[in-house]
Amino acid sequence: MKFKNMITNIFTIVLVSSLMDAGTLKGTVKYDGKPPKKKRLKMDADPVCGSSHSGAVYSENFKVSSEGFMEEALVYLKSVSYSGGTPSDPVVLDQQGCIYTPHVFGMIAGQDLLIKNSDATLHNIHSMPKVNKEFNFAMPKVVKEKTTTFKQSEPEPFYIKCDVHPWMKSWVFVSDHPYYAVTDASGNFSIEGIPAGKYDIVCWQEKFKNRPLTGTVTIGSGETTKDFTFKRPSKKK
């Protein structure tokens, strides 16, 4: 009994110590340059899609405020040791107004992905991973929910598309740990509970998917700040 209590106490001390050493990473993602003109989506081919919106709908691949703050940029750490298991709650991807919501999201390998169809029309969900098995299935208007998953982590985000409505696209990052975040409308992100240590960090944005920003951060107890700025590529002379 004494040995068992000793082991329990040691485990508790290690757990408490690791939690005390865990830190939070915060930052802001901005864009330096004149943003490209918004591209209006043409939804006329499907009356259900067009009638779902009261006004014009624009492409979601580049969301930047007038102050230059970037929304839906993905920030994630690389090579983090994590043994916390897979979340029991699913990540939800909805098809609403013939638009995927959210447009960019993260999930842990093995976590359920609950795909919803809130539209009264046919959608076809087609994933394009590099490591996991590709899926491709239809969701008629009578099929409102379907659950699937990605069993392995991926090296970078990949997209899910609708073959019926070619403008529909959502980007997913399948990670082996929970230390990632997507920026809000003010370009802010926050990643909590990171184990103390030095890590490589990546900032990804759809328009810059082939040129993500990278760096390193040292995490300790308390808060660490890391900002990113994407710049418009210079024109070739």
CA angle (206 as vertex; 202, 211 as ends), nearest 5: 50
Report which secondary-structure segment, H or E, holds 12.
Answer: helix 2-21
Residue 204 lies in a domain: yes
User: Contact at 8 Å (CB) between 70 and 203?
Assistant: no
Residue 143 within any structural domain of the chain: yes
Q: Which residue has the higher pLDDT, 45 or 103?
A: 103
Entry pTM: 0.88
Q: Cα separation of 141 and 200, whole Å?
A: 43
Find the CATH number of the domain harbouring 56. 2.60.40.420
Residue 127 counted as domain residue: yes
- The C-alpha atoms of residue 159 and residue 135 are separated, in whole angstroms, by 12
**Residue 190 domain flag:** yes
Structural domain contains residue 236:
no
Residue appearing with tokens 């890391």? 226
Judge whether 73 lies within some domain: yes
DSSP for 120-171 reads SS-EEEEE--SSSPP-EEEE-TT--EEEEE--S--SS-EEEEESSSTT-EEE
In-domain check, residue 237:
no
Question: Do residues 199 and 1 make contact, with C-beta atoms less than 8 angstroms apart?
Answer: no
Q: Does the residue 12 lie in any domain? A: yes
- Domain housing 154: 2-231
Please tell me the distance from the alpha carbon of residue 12 to that of residue 20, in angstroms, as a whole number.
12
Report the domain count for the chain.
1
Q: What is the DSSP letter of 109?
A: T
pLDDT, tens digit (0-9, with 9 covering 90-100), for 175-203:
999 999 999 999 999 999 999 999 999 99
Q: What is the pLDDT of residues 94-140, one digit of tens each?
A: 999 999 999 999 999 999 999 999 999 999 999 999 999 999 999 99
What is the DSSP code string of 40-67? BP--TTSHHHHHT-SS--B--S-EE-TT
18-32, 128-142, 163-177, 207-221: least confidently modelled range: 18-32
